[in-house]
Structure 1
Amino acid sequence: MNAPLIKLFTQPRQAWREIREREEQVPRQYLPHLVWLALIPVICLYIGTTQVGWSLAEGERVWLSNKSALQLCALLYVAMLIGTLIMGGFIRWMSRSFEARPTLNQCIGFATYTTTPFFMAGLAGLYPSRWLAILALGLAGLYSTLLLFVGISTFMRLPEGKAPLYAAAVWAVGLLVLVTILVSAILLWYNALMPEYVRDVEG
């Protein structure tokens, strides 16, 4: 799975063809792939928030306590897994209207590969910064959209004319699921678990 994963960022059309060909030759389980990919932002965020920290004011550095960082990362990890699985379920449900008959496993795989840029954007968590996070997530959103529209016809074996409408429906539902799941996880962490901060004032 590593070669197609790299090609998603260099030759997306070719990557989708290879992913589909491998799927037809040897059906794959995509859940383990999702489990490993989702660890990238979690590990990076934990390191960034506990070891690097961020600055809210000149001369002041802020970190999360190990306990709070673990809680945040655990919530985000579960949210990413649940969100991708839900997205896979919606993709399969909507496929009935577009003459596609993918399995649930295939739909989870498609959702995982399509959202790979978001997992890779988690590398920005190594250096917590509002503007870096916005830039990374913005670029990830654009590239995920490209992967969705480029790959849905190939992966789902759809007639070209039906692919754009199916992709648009998946994009709309995906955006709703992403925002709902992640915002709910962060609000739960902030309001119920009460984050603990470590502050250091220089000078």
Structure 2
Amino acid sequence: MDPIARLDRLPLGRPHLRLLFLLGLGWALDAMDVGLIGFTLPALTREFGLSPVQAGLLGSVGLLGMLLGAALGGRLADRLGRKAVIGYSLFLAGLGSLLTALAPSLAWVFLFRFLTGLGLGAELPVAASLMAEWSPLRLRGRMVVLLEAFWAVGWLLAALLGYLLVPEYGWRLAFLAGALPALYAAYLRLSLPESPRWLMARGRVGEAAALG
């Protein structure tokens, strides 16, 4: 039987739930990083004396990075595989957040927020693709929706970090606290399975069959 057809007919099981958890963890951490800039922007404004225009640009530069990352992520995922792009992009996002926490000046904060957005933008659509390509056909939409629900978890985490850390310890510690789990999640992504559909498209039929 065609490996793809077999995967489409499989009942929902532990491999699907494990994949949902691993992808959802990264999804939540991505959302947390996006949310953190909103909760840290007042502290950044005070420290660097930002004008309203500068504050708006700082809040948006990560979104610009996400736009570019999303445009590049899909192409790279078709060439390198879903697993590789998800792992590398999440690592880039975590590294960007870590460097933001260590930024020596406002110009560096802008650059590192852009790099963070680049990683986030590349990771999110490819993670959704991998979840869809692994899910049983009749549950594909539901699994992607469950993955996207982790976004709300990430925003709650961002609000919690903003409330607990920023007033007492400043914005740097908040970004540091956001970076370390993201870097760990990137490490966990090494255990992700590759997309069987991508393997089939690359002619790696034996590997795709082994996944099924």
Relative to the length of structure 2, the TM-score reads 0.35
- Greater relative contact order (Cα 8 A, min sep 6): structure 1 or 2? 2
Higher helix proportion: 2
Greater share of strand: 1
